[in-house]
Each structure stands twice: as structure tokens, then as C-alpha cells.
Amino acid sequence: MITAGRIVRLAEFDRAEVHFYLDGQMCSALAGDTVLTAMLASGHVLRKSEFGPEWRAGFCLMGACQDCWVWQDEGPRLRACSALIVEGLRLRTTAPESWP
């Protein structure tokens, strides 16, 4: 994991704060952020590549490339670049044990 955010918020600080969990750690974002923005601004990467040891941070940022899938604790995946962060969302950077 990295410690500093890969993206830095330059504007819109007046939105409500939203808390979410990433790999069991509580993080915060602002209402209206995408999951991808919330993760990268919190100092995290998206996930490891399935093709090698590299960490991924999204690619196209518009829902076309399929590179930004992350998992919810319950198992279903979501596309981080187009899903909005919501209070209490629990995310994982790796697939759950039960993932097909």
C-alpha cells in the first residue's frame, strides 16, 4: 500500500464526509466521489493486476476498460470508476475466498 494519495483534491471541500471501509480499514471520502476517487485520494491503490505483481490504479476512468473492478465484502464486484461511494460501503482489493 502507498501512504500518500495518488490524486489530490483541489476543489469542492464543502461536500459531506462519507466513511467507508477498505480491506477492513476505515477511510473517508466526500459525498459524490466515485469509489475510484475515494480509494486513490485515501492513499490506496485499486488492486493488484491479475496478470502480474503490479498494483493497478484504474486506466480509462470512464467505465470502458474493465480495469477498475473491486469487490464488496459481501462478494459482488463493482466498477470503481462509475460507482458512487456511500456511507458504510465495505470494499476489498482482493477477491473473497468464495469468488468464482
pLDDT band per the 50, 70, 90 thresholds, residue 100: low
Question: What is the pLDDT, as a whole number, of residue 84?
Answer: 96
All cell numbers assigned to 36: 475510484
* pLDDT at 92 exceeding the cut of 80: yes
Would you state the torsion angle of the CA atoms of residues 65, 69, 27, 5, taken in this order, to the nearest 10 degrees? -30
Per-residue pLDDT reduced to its tens digit, 36-75: 989 888 877 776 666 677 766 666 666 777 778 889 988 7
- Architecture in CATH of 17-90: Roll (3.10)
* Strongest mean pLDDT among 6-15, 16-25, 34-43, 47-56: 16-25
Counting residues of the chain whose pLDDT is more than 70, the rounded percentage is 72
Q: Which of 46, 10, 47 is closest to 30 using CA atoms?
A: 10
Domain ranges of the chain: 17-90
Query: pTM for this one?
Result: 0.78
Q: Which of 11, 4, 6, 1 is closest to 61 using CA atoms?
A: 6
Distance (Å, rounded) from C-alpha 80 to C-alpha 28?
15
Distance (Å, rounded) from C-alpha 98 to C-alpha 100?
6
